[in-house]
Structure 1
Amino acid sequence: PFFDGNNYSHWKAKMTIFIQSLDYNLWDLIVDGPNLPTVTLENRNVIPKPRNTYDDNDRRMVQIKAKAKHIIICAINLNDFNRISSCILAKEMWDRLEVTYEGTNQVKEAKISMLVHDYEMFTMNENEDIKSMFSRFTNIINELQALDKTYSNSEMLAHITRKFKKFLASKKKFRGKPNKKLYQKGESRKLEEIICFECNKPGHYKSDCPRLKKK
Structure 2
Amino acid sequence: MEYIDFGIWEAVIDGPFVPMQVIKDETVKKARSEWSESERKKAQYDSIAKNIITYPLTMDEFFRISQCNSAKEMWEVLEVTLEGTNDVKRSRKHSLIQEYELFRMQLEETIVDVQ
Over 3 Å counting, the alpha-carbon distance change for 1:109 and 1:55 in structure 2 is same
- Given the alignment of the two structures, is residue 29 of structure 1 paired with residue 11 of structure 2, yes or no? yes
How far did 1:24 drift?
5.4
Percent identity, aligned pairs only, is: 30
Matching residue of 2:82: 101
How far did 1:87 drift?
1.7
Matching residue of 2:65: 84
Q: Secondary structure in 1 aligned to 2:11?
A: helix
How far did 1:57 drift?
1.5
How far did 1:71 drift?
1.0
Over 3 Å counting, the alpha-carbon distance change for 1:75 and 1:47 in structure 2 is farther
How far did 1:115 drift?
2.9
Matching residue of 2:110: 127
Return the letter of the residue paired with 1:127.
T
Q: Secondary structure in 1 aligned to 2:89?
A: helix
Matching residue of 2:56: 75
Q: Normalising by the residue count of structure 1, what TM-score does the alignment of the two structures yield?
A: 0.42
Return the letter of the residue paired with 1:53.
E
Return the letter of the residue paired with 2:75.
W
Q: What are the superposed Cα offsets for residues 35-89 of structure 1, whole Å, 9 maximum, x if unpaired?
A: 4223244353x44432222111211112222111101112112222222122222
Matching residue of 2:24: 42
Distance in 2, matches of 1:28 and 1:122, equals 43
Size of the aligned set, in residue pairs, is 108
Bigger relative contact order (CA 8 A; separation at least 6):
2
How far did 1:95 drift?
0.9
Q: Normalising by the residue count of structure 2, what TM-score does the alignment of the two structures yield?
A: 0.70
Alignment of 1:1-215 (within 5 A): 19-20=1-2, 22-23=3-4, 25=6, 26-30=8-12, 32-39=13-20, 40-44=22-26, 46-119=27-100, 121=101, 123=103, 125=105, 126-128=109-111
Aligned residues of 1:87 and 1:93 also touching (Cα < 8 A) = yes
Task: State the Cα RMSD in Å.
Answer: 2.7
Matching residue of 1:137: none
Return the letter of the residue paired with 1:56.
E
Over 3 Å counting, the alpha-carbon distance change for 1:33 and 1:115 in structure 2 is farther
Distance in 2, matches of 1:116 and 1:33, equals 34
Gaps of 5+ in 2: none
Aligned residues of 1:65 and 1:89 also touching (Cα < 8 A) = yes
Matching residue of 1:194: none
Q: What are the superposed Cα offsets for residues 103-126 of structure 1, whole Å, 9 maximum, x if unpaired?
A: 22322222233234345x175644
Distance in 1, matches of 2:33 and 2:58, equals 34
